[in-house]
């Protein structure tokens, strides 16, 4: 298989768990509470090569939300990871000359530094967009929110250490304004916005988190902005230490990538094609989707919906152009699908975004 699944022990992130355990200790919470049900033991964590599954880590995060009910756990973890706990990747980034270098490093080290999200990029005339979706499995809303907070606080601590003008970054979170907005205000000195709540009529209304991706937007000039602490020789040194990138990507990452490619090249895609492409039976494929908390149709809707919303909001395309881009035969059909995805008509959604 060209992908790995949520129960496969492929993630080498013992340090993350150690940092979480440290946070628990600092707050006088017994460390074993965090590991409850994850089949991990404190003694395992001392093994630097320890591999854990997405399932196990999700369980730890669930415990964190339960036993460390401080809304700052995700932000704290994100700000503590960099640079020391990202190892070689952290060192490459710490010495990068410009943002473009950092992004290349991020792509290269993707599954070592942040296996939970995968990145696509888009651009308009002035702006560069980095779009992040869950890579391995579709988690619950609270899980997704934790991951988004963790990730953005990590990004910001990298940007701050490199003295990048963070006020020129803008992060859009895929959920409505959360209760603990103060954490965002204190930890994220960049611009940030939230997404409108999915309308109750939408396919995704029960799972608002699937509505949109996490999106980071910056003006293109920032990519080549000279950064602090640049050292090309050190980068070379650390790059040589890099283990060859694993070929396998997360299950959701793989499927979404296929869908995006097929849509862009105007080729048809459906579950049968995917099953055949992977040489597995339809039933097996269906079971795999189920294990990752999503169906084929939901994921496909999500891909097209995200593209439609991006074209609508960032490119300011009209319905005809969007329909054409997404291979819809006619506008009525597109409008109906759009309504089914988001619960809004394109114009209403646009309004919801800008108010």
Partner 1 sequence: MNFAFLPFHKTLINSLLLTIATVCFGAYSFGQLKPTSELDIIDMVGEGGITLMTLIWIFFTLVSRPSGRVTNLLFIGLLFTHVSVLLDFLDEFFIYPDDHWLTAIEALPAPLGMVLMSIALYQWHQEQTAINYQLSRTERFYREHSLVDFTTGLYSAEYMKQQIRLEINHAKNQQTSFSLMMFDLRYFAQFNQDYGYQHGDLMLREVAQLIQMNIRDGDIACRYASDRFIVLMPNTLEVTTKEIEQQTKRAIEYLAFKHDQTSDAIYPKVITCHHQYRGWHSYKEVLHDINTHLSAAKQLAKQPCSA
Which spans of this chain sit near partner 1 (rule: CB under 8 A)? Answer: 22, 26-28, 70, 72, 75, 79-80, 157, 160, 167, 180-183, 185-187, 189
Assign 230 to helix, strand or coil. Answer: coil
Pick the closer one to partner 1 by CB: 138 or 164.
164
CB of residue 301 vs partner 1: minimum separation in angstroms?
33
CB atoms near residue 303 (< 10 Å): 21
Which contacts qualify for 197-206: CB closer than 8 Å, 24 or more apart?
Answer: 198/342, 198/343, 199/342, 199/343, 199/344, 200/343, 201/339, 201/343, 202/340, 202/341, 202/342, 202/343, 202/344, 203/298, 203/301, 203/340, 203/341, 204/298, 204/301, 204/302, 204/341, 204/342, 205/343
Pick the closer one to partner 1 by CB: 183 or 319.
183
CB of residue 271 vs partner 1: minimum separation in angstroms?
44
CB of residue 294 vs partner 1: minimum separation in angstroms?
33
CB of residue 181 vs partner 1: minimum separation in angstroms?
8
Pick the closer one to partner 1 by CB: 65 or 239.
65
The structure tokens listed for 257 are 């990538």
Pick the closer one to partner 1 by CB: 227 or 249.
227
Pick the closer one to partner 1 by CB: 26 or 318.
26
CB of residue 161 vs partner 1: minimum separation in angstroms?
8
CA distance 148 to 78: 10
User: 11, 52 in Cβ contact below 8 A?
Assistant: yes
DSSP at 116: T
CA 174 to each of CA 180, 210, 305: distance values in angstroms, whole numbers, following the listed order: 15, 8, 13
Find the farthest-apart pair of alpha carbons in the chain and give their distance in angstroms, rounded. 60
DSSP 159-170: HHHTT--GGGEE
CB of residue 205 vs partner 1: minimum separation in angstroms?
24
CB of residue 183 vs partner 1: minimum separation in angstroms?
5
Pick the closer one to partner 1 by CB: 72 or 324.
72
CB of residue 136 vs partner 1: minimum separation in angstroms?
29
Q: What angle do CA 106, 111, 114 make, to 5 degrees?
A: 65
What backbone torsions phi and psi does residue 323 show, to the nearest 5 degrees?
Answer: -60, -40
Q: Is the dihedral of CA 274, 279, 285, 289 positive or negative?
A: negative
Pick the closer one to partner 1 by CB: 182 or 320.
182
Q: What angle do CA 169, 54, 150 make, to 5 degrees?
A: 25
Pick the closer one to partner 1 by CB: 11 or 45.
45
Pick the closer one to partner 1 by CB: 163 or 318.
163
CB of residue 105 vs partner 1: minimum separation in angstroms?
20
- Give the alpha-carbon dihedral of 137, 134, 83, 79, to 10 degrees: -100
């Amino acid at each position: 298989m060209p992908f790995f699944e949520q129960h496969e022990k492929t993630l080498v992130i013992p340090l993350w768990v150690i940092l979480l355990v440290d946070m628990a200790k600092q707050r006088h919470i017994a460390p074993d509470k965090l590991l409850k049900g994850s089949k991990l033991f404190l003694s395992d964590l001392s093994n630097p090569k320890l591999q854990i599954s997405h399932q196990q880590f999700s369980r730890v995060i669930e415990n964190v939300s339960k036993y460390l009910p401080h809304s700052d756990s995700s932000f704290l973890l994100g700000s503590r990871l960099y640079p020391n706990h990202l190892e070689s990747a952290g060192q490459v980034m710490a010495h990068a000359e410009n943002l473009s270098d950092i992004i290349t490093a991020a792509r290269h080290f993707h599954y070592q530094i942040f296996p939970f999200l995968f990145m696509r990029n888009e651009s308009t005339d002035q702006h560069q967009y980095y779009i992040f979706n869950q890579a391995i499995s579709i988690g619950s809303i609270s899980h997704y929110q934790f991951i988004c907070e963790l990730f953005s606080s990590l990004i910001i601590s990298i940007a701050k250490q490199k003295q990048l003008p963070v006020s020129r970054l803008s992060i859009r979170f895929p959920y409505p304004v959360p209760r603990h907005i103060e954490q965002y205000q204190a930890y994220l000195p960049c611009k940030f916005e939230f997404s409108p709540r999915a309308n109750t009529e939408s396919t995704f209304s029960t799972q608002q988190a699937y509505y949109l991706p996490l999106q980071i937007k910056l003006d293109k000039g920032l990519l080549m902005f000279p950064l602090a602490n640049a050292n090309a020789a050190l980068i070379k040194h650390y790059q040589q230490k890099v283990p060859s990138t694993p070929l396998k990507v997360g299950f959701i990452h793989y499927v979404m990538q296929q869908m995006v490619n097929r849509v862009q090249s105007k080729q048809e895609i459906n579950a049968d094609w995917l099953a055949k492409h992977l040489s597995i039976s339809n039933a097996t494929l269906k079971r795999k989707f189920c294990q990752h908390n999503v169906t084929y149709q939901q994921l496909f809707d999500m891909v097209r919906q995200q593209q439609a919303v991006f074209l609508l909001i960032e490119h300011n395309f009209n319905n005809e152009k969007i329909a054409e881009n997404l291979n819809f035969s006619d506008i009525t059909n597109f409008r109906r699908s759009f309504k089914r995805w988001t619960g809004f008509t394109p114009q209403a959604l646009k309004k919801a975004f800008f108010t």
